[in-house]
């Protein structure tokens, strides 16, 4: 399943809070300088490369030179945001050429406007010093001083609000350039949901085929054998009553075995104990039927959503079945715990390892977990141990 390359807004804000305001102020001042560099680059490259950009034959080469310098300036802005503001960006994301050029154009505009606002702020500070000195010398009346102070306060408020808005604009255009945009995130989410839906359909089809094999190769063959035993007993009833009784006893045992196997198939399809008794009791049933010792630890308070409960049960069943059949494990431990909004299911065995996450069983679990926006991790180095961990959101 595709992974989301974005970084959560909470993580961004936490990283930004670790930067002191003097460091961020230095970043704003440096941004004014880099905006001047960007403007100079666009002017020089526009004059030097403009004719070549207009001619179709030389346009690709000229555009390559233009984008080379533009990406270097964008890398400088990336370093500035990371060093002075603590911004976190996806490491593997690479912006397209038009996106980089658009970012630098807006960055030049906002940086130069920020330089003008800072200049006005400095000019206002100088006027404030002159007003205070005039009031101290007595050359300025109190009424005029109050008028100038009121006007200066309003202008200072507007200046600071403008500076704050420009700083936020700078952060927003940096996030849009160095990370996926909302449109790209929406498209990736649609692709992820489409892939998850297709995987769920494949998993359901695979499960149906498995149930059909269980019924055809197991239950059906036993029922055929039971019918044959009953037929032999009916034919031997008159000629050999003792043999008929023995055949009926064997048929009775075969009927009990058929019921046991049919019950196992029903449990593999969907255990009724999940709805009637809950996940803990259903996992206890798995431990009773497991061929190797199984230790279960259940630490969940409160009810669980039905889909989460079902997915957790099948994660445990598939992992335990794989451990019993293929790993040669002597013990299996299962831990189910709820921490905050997620349910964590961890299954570990002491077998030989080497489990293939792309196998039929584990890939089906991956599809089932991904359908709930969950995560499935499989760690199975050669020599063991094998650990299967599923994180299922409960919200």
DSSP helix/strand/coil, 68: helix
Note whether 76 and 139 are within 8 A (CB): no
Picking from 50-64, 87-101, 174-188, which range would have the lowest pLDDT averaged per residue?
174-188
pLDDT at 369: 84
Which residue shows structure tokens 């019993």?
A: 324
Average pLDDT, the chain: 81
pLDDT band at residue 36 using 50, 70 and 90 as cut-offs: very high
Higher pLDDT, 46 or 140: 46
pLDDT bin (cut points 50, 70, 90) of residue 360 is low
- Confidence (pLDDT) at 72: 92
Q: Note the pLDDT of residue 17.
A: 54
Question: What confidence category does residue 165 fall into, taking pLDDT thresholds of 50, 70 and 90?
Answer: very high
Is residue 1 scored above 50 in pLDDT? no
**pLDDT bracket for residue 279 (50, 70, 90):** confident
In degrees, rounded to 5, the angle at the alpha carbon of residue 142 between the alpha carbons of residues 138 and 146 is 130
Picking from 341, 347, 356, the residue whose alpha carbon sits closest to that of residue 312 is 347
pLDDT over 80 at 200, yes or no: no
Choose between 315 and 185: higher pLDDT: 315
**What size, in residues, is the chain?**
395
Return the bridge partners of 392, or none.
343
What is the DSSP secondary-structure string of 274-339?
HHHT-HHHHHHHHHHH-SS-EEEEEE--S---HHHHHHHHHHHHHHHHHIIIII--S-EEEEEEEE
What's the pLDDT tens digit per position in 227-239?
888 888 888 877 7
Q: What percent of the chain has pLDDT over 90?
A: 15
Mention every residue, 6+ apart, whose C-beta is less than 8 A from residue 28: 114, 118, 163, 167, 170
Q: What is the pTM of this model?
A: 0.50
pLDDT digit string, tens, across residues 110-134 = 999 999 999 988 888 888 887 777 7
Give the pLDDT of residue 124: 84
The mean per-residue pLDDT over the stretch 326-351 comes to 87
Which of the given ranges, 94-98, 118-122, 134-138, 350-354, has the highest pLDDT on average? 118-122
The whole-angstrom separation of Cα 382 and Cα 392 is 27
Q: Can you tell me which residue has the tokens 């992992």?
A: 319
In percent, how much of the chain has pLDDT > 70? 87
User: Which of 17-31, 39-53, 219-233, 311-325 is predicted most confidently?
Assistant: 39-53
- For the chain, list the domains and their CATH numbers: 9-180 (no CATH), 201-269 (1.20.5.1930), 274-393 (3.30.565.10)
Q: What is the pLDDT of residue 190?
A: 80
Residue 2's pLDDT band, with cuts at 50, 70 and 90, is: very low
136-145, 255-264, 345-354: least confident range: 136-145
Mean pLDDT for 326-341 is 85
User: Quick check: 342 and 391 in contact, CB under 8 A?
Assistant: yes
pLDDT at 267: 62
Query: What whole-number distance in Å separates Cα of residue 145 and Cα of residue 137?
Result: 12
């Amino acid at each position: 399943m595709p992974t989301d390359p974005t970084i959560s807004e909470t993580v961004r804000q936490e990283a930004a809070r670790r930067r002191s305001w003097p460091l961020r102020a230095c970043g704003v001042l440096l941004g004014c300088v880099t905006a001047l560099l960007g403007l100079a680059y666009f002017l020089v490259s526009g004059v030097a490369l403009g004719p070549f950009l207009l001619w179709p034959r030389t346009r690709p080469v000229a555009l390559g030179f233009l984008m080379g310098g533009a990406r270097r300036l964008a890398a400088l802005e990336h370093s500035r945001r990371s060093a002075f503001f603590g911004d976190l960006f996806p490491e593997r994301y690479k912006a397209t050429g038009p996106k980089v050029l658009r970012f630098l154009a807006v960055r030049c505009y906002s940086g130069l406007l920020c330089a003008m606002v800072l200049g006005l702020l400095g000019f206002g500070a100088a006027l404030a010093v002159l007003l205070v000195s005039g009031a101290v010398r007595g050359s300025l009346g109190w009424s005029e001083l109050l008028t100038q102070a009121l006007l200066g306060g309003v202008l200072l408020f507007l200046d600071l609000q403008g500076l704050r808005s420009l700083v936020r604009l700078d952060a927003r255009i940096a996030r849009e350039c160095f990370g996926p945009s909302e449109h790209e995130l929406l498209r990736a989410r649609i692709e992820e949901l489409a892939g998850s839906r297709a995987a769920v359909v494949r998993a359901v089809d695979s499960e149906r085929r498995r149930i059909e094999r269980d019924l055809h190769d197991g239950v059906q063959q036993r029922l055929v054998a039971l019918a044959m035993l009953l037929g032999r007993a009916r034919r031997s009833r008159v000629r050999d009553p003792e043999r008929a009784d023995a055949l009926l006893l064997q048929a009775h045992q075969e009927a009990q075995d058929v019921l046991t196997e049919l019950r196992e198939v029903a449990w593999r399809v969907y255990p009724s104990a999940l709805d009637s008794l809950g996940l803990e009791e259903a996992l206890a049933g798995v431990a009773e039927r497991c061929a190797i010792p199984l230790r279960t630890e259940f630490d969940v308070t409160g009810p669980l959503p039905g889909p989460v409960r079902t997915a957790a049960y099948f994660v445990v069943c598939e992992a335990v079945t794989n451990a019993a059949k293929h790993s040669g494990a002597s013990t299996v431990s299962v831990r189910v715990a709820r921490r905050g909004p997620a349910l964590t299911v961890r299954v570990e065995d002491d077998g030989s390892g080497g489990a293939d996450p792309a196998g039929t069983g584990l890939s089906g679990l991956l599809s089932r977990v991904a359908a709930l926006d969950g995560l499935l991790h499989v760690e199975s180095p050669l020599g063991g141990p094998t650990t299967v961990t599923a994180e299922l959101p409960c919200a």
